Amino acid sequence: MHKLLLELREAVDQAGGALPPGGAKHWRTRYRKIIGRGQTECPAPEPDGIARRRVKRSKSLNLLERLLDYEDEVQRFMENAEVPFTSNQGERDLRMTKVKQKISGCFRSKDGARASCLVRSYLITCQKNNVEPSEALAPLFNGSWSNFILEKFQYQQEHAE
């Protein structure tokens, strides 16, 4: 599966960020064949019939079941150029909040946590748009928005109509 996903990422990159319509069928077929082989090699454990509790599953079986249950989500990046191959950026965006929570033990209040998330979100958005933090924060202290935010608002309004 690892090899297939890396090959798929390469094919998507060569296609310019997303496969053409109908180009995903081949990859979905290969994905399902690998899932089928996994189900053969790693079957679900049989209940022993004595206890009524759920039988513990292996990590590999749990992963296999997630890959099957969330097939569309796992492969969404191949047809939608807006979806990244990994969620690493999202995890990096959240890391500072978790580090602050770990060091401080907690946020003092929900309002403080909310304010911290708003500031982090704004700064991360600025960073993704190649805007320096000082350049992004200065207009806020003057009671206005950064130019790139205004441009995005204008773009959304023009294309919403």
Where exactly are the structural domains of the chain? 2-78, 88-160
Distance CA 59, CA 71 (A): 18
Please give the pLDDT value at position 105.
66
22 sits in the region (left: phi over 0; alpha: psi -120 to 50; else beta) called left
Q: Which two tokens stand for residue 114?
A: 């909310």
Look at residues 71, 1, 75, 86 and name the one whose alpha carbon lies nearest to residue 42: 1
Using an 8 Å Cβ cutoff, are 24 and 78 in contact?
A: yes
For 55-113, the pLDDT digits (tens) are: 788 899 999 999 999 999 999 999 998 888 887 777 777 777 767 666 666 667 778 77
Q: What is the total residue count of the chain?
A: 161
> What's the rounded mean pLDDT across residues 137-144?
80
Q: Please name the residues in contact with 93: beta carbons below 8 A apart, sequence gap of 6 or more.
A: 120, 124
> From residue 30, how far is each of 16, 38, 41, 64 by CA, in Å?
21, 12, 17, 15
Instruction: Please check the confidence at residue 126 and state whether its pLDDT lies above 90.
Output: no
